[in-house]
Amino acid sequence: MTTTAPAAVARLDAVTHYYGKTLALAGVTLDVPAGRTLGLIGPDGVGKSTLLSLLTGAREVQQGRVLALGGDMANRRHREDVCARIAYMPQGLGKNLYPTLSVDENLQFFGQLFGHDAGERRRRIDELTRSTDLYAFLQRPAGKLSGGMKQKLGLCCALIHDPDLLVLDEPTTGVDPLARSQFWDLIASIRASRPGMSVIVATAYMDEAQRFDALVAMDAGRILATGTPAEFLERTGSPHLEAAFVALLPPEKREGHKRLVIPPLRATEGEEDVAIEARDLTMRFGEFVAVDHVSFRIRRGEIFGFLGSNGCGKSTTMKMLTGLLPASEGRAGLFGRDVDPKDIATRRRVGYMSQAFSLYSELTVAQNLVLHARLFGVPDAEVQEKAQRMAARFGLTQLMDSLPDALPLGLRQRLSLAVALVHGPELLILDEPTSGVDPVARDQFWELLAELSRRDGVTIFISTHFMNEAERCDRISLMHAGRVLVSDTPAAIASGRGARTLEEAFIAYLEDAGARGGALDRADAAGSAPASPPGRDLGQRRFFSPARAWSYSVRESLELRRDPVRAALGLVGSLLLMFIMGFGINMDVQDLRFAVLDYDRTPLSRGYALDLSGSRYFVEHAPIADDADLDRRMRSGELSLALVIPPGFARDVARGQAVQVGAYIDGAMPTRAETVAGYVQGMHQAWLAEIARQRSGPTAAGSPATVETRFRYNPGVQSLPAMVPAVIPLLLMMFPAMLTALSVVREKELGSILNLYVTPVTRSEFLFGKQLPYVVLALLNFLLMALMAVTIFGVPVKGSFLALLAAAVLYTLCATGIGLVASTFTRSQVAALFLTTIGTMIPAVQFSGMLDPVSSLEGPGALIGGIYPASHFLTISRGVFNKALNFDDLRGAFWPLALAVPVILATAVLMLRKQET
């Protein structure tokens, strides 16, 4: 720390940060030197990422002060001013990239956000991609790049605007050694050409930290030490940084840590004793060959390491060996037998631990152990004892009732191992078991492995990216692009290539394998990157830049086009539902089944029900025999209506004596029952009038007045013409709102929302840009629904279609806007989906006049109905479809609709945050 302190480009002062109750940073004070590369080292979860996100302004500062590029990052004005000078590459492979977009489209998007014109973008993109060897892959979707290439693309996107401060969060995690070394060479050459640029890097690989100008070692939200790599080694007297880091840890963390020595594997009882054998194992997913003729043999008791970058086929090979995936070709054998996914017996001899630490987070430690023991067929009597023994061996006894999620990563990893071992397997398959675990815990884990292998004779097949772990294996295989490049003991591999370290040997193998080499010869290409000031002027358009909004629109529509399932679900889904509702919400009653129990059996009694059986609403069934028959047939649901005509009916009518006809209606479905009652009453009245007319001539009786009922707009009082125009507003609200909400929340889930936080794009540009494609989609949806109404349902448009279209434009703006509002306070796609469904369906169905008119509602329902856009669009839709109205007639409904648009959009913009909390 005694190095001559250069000017600081950024400074953290007593910064403390909590996630809920979890402390992420505890009073960190740090200067970030200008024009240097500063490395943050430490395992996962010590606060490195939090620190970096605070520094870039992506995350809101809670306590303390964060200064960067000469201003306070808590100040919004300052953030807006400097965000164009900071580049941030978040953790996770291609986290801020758009996987369905091509390399070129990704870069174009970022260029547009920073206000470059088309020519400038082309020039910069070509330069950057040439210097990173991505030029040949400009048209390839980002999601289909290898891990190393994704990181290079991420770097290009970060560098497109010539930042002064480059922030890289674990840029090489999960990338193969060659790509890693190329990445750092690239950074070095860029720094050489732009000496003023400061770089701050977080990494979990201690070995690569050697290259940095200065280091900050972190643990548990605190800074352990700062200094140059040489100072670190000198201060701790350690041979390498990993040991130095362990030495810097507080004593209680180091406890139990000792230098790991794995005794050599005993020269074995014959080469024949093979635990795993793979011969020409191949796996194809369609065109893509994930694993290409892989062969190896692993002896019993051996620790066999599998090295390679993410996506090189390690996990796929392991899955084929466990029988999880059937091989496309070749054979895999365990204990001299072919792997057969159906062979349950072999599985008992294997313990498997996957990348995700396959634990049930909903079960406690004890429950996890017991469940696995039982499923592996440990006899009931021994289950508890076995679980206890495993817990004791792995130091979990005190934690038996905790839930796995509450445990630190290192302990969770041990529990996973305990779970995989509870049935005493002879073979252990471990897929990257140590990712993200701190060095001390990793060494402890390896002690357990050594003991298992050497003492218990368990064969261990393990994959890893850590070189020092690879060195601990008896033998290793290096995989690249689905093929095994070399398989031997670590020492033999290194000496075979005449390399000093295993890593160098691997890089040599990878280069031979045709992975692109030579990163340095493009130093001059990067050097010619424009020294001209980047689009600084773009910070000027603070409020709304149509170009930036448009760049979001373009990007969103590209993504939508590449993911046709989503768009199709929106379109097809709404058409399907319209079809269902058109036919389903049917108030018409037709073909009601009825029968008569006629005790009188006279012409008069037979004539009574004649009206009914002649109507299109009723279907007459066989006459009812007696009361019991009536009860049975009504109970079974066969009859909706039963008429009972009493004995002596004709006689009593003739005498003018009071007589009662019984009508039994099935009340199980009240709406239907009411309609039936209405029909029966009508029929009865008609019959009475008819009798009266027959008796006393046409003129005498009759009512003193008549009511002429005119059913307007829908003379047949049919459901279809009434419902179809009402269903359109409902569906045009639900689906566009849902799709829009999902599009924003998806960015939150995938991480690309960061681009909103750290680029000059404003909230309104982001939201309106994303909204536009969905408005277009919704309008298309509307046109399709209108077409369907006219053709399939035969409901003609009687009024002005132009008025309807204009209203639809306003309405889709509202609907997508409501989706935006919903997206601002949900974090997961599922939550957004349910929230928008509830938030749109309930008001649209119940309060918007779809069934009951808004004027009939009371209380909050009436209030919601009065302001909810669906009410007004419904009035317009019915007005145009059914009532032959035009603009003028519907003016009253247009105003509230037009007013709702700015209100909803303003709400969405105000509620969206431009920083993470």
- Smallest separation, CB 245 to other proteins (Å): 29
- Smallest separation, CB 258 to other proteins (Å): 32
Quote the tokens at residue 194: 């732009």
Between 183 and 608, name the residue whose CB sits nearer to other proteins: 608
Please report whether residue 132 would count as binding other proteins according to CB under 8 A. Answer: no
- Smallest separation, CB 595 to other proteins (Å): 14
Number of residues near other proteins (by CB under 8 A): 138
Between 169 and 431, name the residue whose CB sits nearer to other proteins: 431
Q: How many CA atoms lie within 13 A of 878 on its CB side?
A: 21
Between 574 and 915, name the residue whose CB sits nearer to other proteins: 574
Q: What is the DSSP letter of 394?
A: T
Between 882 and 915, name the residue whose CB sits nearer to other proteins: 882
Stretch that binds other proteins, among 12-20, 466-474, 576-584, 801-809 (CB under 8 A): 576-584
Please report whether residue 787 would count as binding other proteins according to CB under 8 A. Answer: no
Between 69 and 597, name the residue whose CB sits nearer to other proteins: 597
- Smallest separation, CB 133 to other proteins (Å): 32
- Smallest separation, CB 572 to other proteins (Å): 9
222-227 and 214-219 beta bridge pairing: antiparallel
As a whole number of angstroms, the distance between CA 20 and CA 406 comes to 14
Between 398 and 709, name the residue whose CB sits nearer to other proteins: 709
Residues 745-774 that bind other proteins (CB under 8 A): 746
Between 151 and 310, name the residue whose CB sits nearer to other proteins: 310
- Smallest separation, CB 612 to other proteins (Å): 12
Choose, by CB under 8 A, the member of 199, 283, 885, 912 that binds other proteins: 885
Please report whether residue 581 would count as binding other proteins according to CB under 8 A. Answer: yes
Asked if 849 and 865 count as a contact pair (C-beta separation under 8 A), the reply is yes
Please report whether residue 894 would count as binding other proteins according to CB under 8 A. Answer: no
SS3 for 223? strand
Please report whether residue 647 would count as binding other proteins according to CB under 8 A. Answer: no
Beta-bridged to residue 307, according to DSSP, are 464, 478
Q: How many CA atoms lie within 13 A of 772 on its CB side?
A: 17
Please report whether residue 406 would count as binding other proteins according to CB under 8 A. Answer: no
Nearest in space to 218 (alpha carbons), one of 460, 46, 37, 398:
46
63-68 and 8-19 beta bridge pairing: antiparallel
Quote the tokens at residue 394: 């792995």
Please report whether residue 594 would count as binding other proteins according to CB under 8 A. Answer: no
Left, alpha or beta for 273 (phi > 0: left; psi -120 to 50: alpha)? beta
Stretch that binds other proteins, among 294-302, 406-414, 450-458, 652-660 (CB under 8 A): 652-660
Please report whether residue 602 would count as binding other proteins according to CB under 8 A. Answer: no
Distances (CA, A) of 14 to 20, 41, 59, 222: 19, 19, 16, 11
Residues 796-855 that bind other proteins (CB under 8 A): 828-830, 833-834, 837, 846, 849, 851-855
- Smallest separation, CB 646 to other proteins (Å): 10
Q: Would the CA dihedral through 625, 629, 631, 635 be positive or negative?
A: negative
Choose, by CB under 8 A, the member of 299, 442, 555, 878 that binds other proteins: 878
Please report whether residue 887 would count as binding other proteins according to CB under 8 A. Answer: no
Residues 661-700 that bind other proteins (CB under 8 A): 661-675, 677-678, 680-682, 684, 687-688, 691
Please report whether residue 428 would count as binding other proteins according to CB under 8 A. Answer: no
Query: Binding marks (x or -) toward other proteins, 346..385, rule CB under 8 A?
Result: -xx-x-x-xxxxxxxxxx---x---xx-xxxx--------
Please report whether residue 287 would count as binding other proteins according to CB under 8 A. Answer: no
Sheet holding 63-68, edge to edge: 22-33, 8-19, 63-68, 71-72
Please report whether residue 521 would count as binding other proteins according to CB under 8 A. Answer: no
As a whole number of angstroms, the distance between CA 583 and CA 114 comes to 52
Choose, by CB under 8 A, the member of 45, 163, 174, 879 that binds other proteins: 879
Between 181 and 346, name the residue whose CB sits nearer to other proteins: 346
Burial of 585 (C-beta count, 10 Å sphere; 0-12/13-18/19+): middle
Between 135 and 579, name the residue whose CB sits nearer to other proteins: 579
Between 360 and 544, name the residue whose CB sits nearer to other proteins: 360
Query: Binding marks (x or -) toward other proteins, 701..740, rule CB under 8 A?
Result: xxxxxxxxxxxxxxxxx-x-xxx-xx-----------x--
SS3 for 131? helix
37-41 and 214-219 beta bridge pairing: parallel
Output the CA angle 767-772-775, nearest 5 degrees: 120
Stretch that binds other proteins, among 295-303, 321-329, 464-472, 548-556 (CB under 8 A): 321-329
Q: Which contacts qualify for 761-764: CB closer than 8 Å, 24 or more apart?
A: 761/113, 761/548, 761/552, 762/542, 762/543, 762/544, 762/545, 762/548, 762/914, 763/909, 763/912, 763/914, 764/543, 764/544, 764/549, 764/909
63-68 and 71-72 beta bridge pairing: antiparallel
Please report whether residue 889 would count as binding other proteins according to CB under 8 A. Answer: yes
Beta-bridged to residue 19, according to DSSP, are 22
- Smallest separation, CB 170 to other proteins (Å): 21
Asked if 515 and 179 count as a contact pair (C-beta separation under 8 A), the reply is yes
Please report whether residue 583 would count as binding other proteins according to CB under 8 A. Answer: yes
- Smallest separation, CB 545 to other proteins (Å): 31
Beta-bridged to residue 618, according to DSSP, are 592
Residues 164-183 that bind other proteins (CB under 8 A): none
Please report whether residue 622 would count as binding other proteins according to CB under 8 A. Answer: no
**Cβ within 8 Å of residue 858, ≥6 positions away:** none
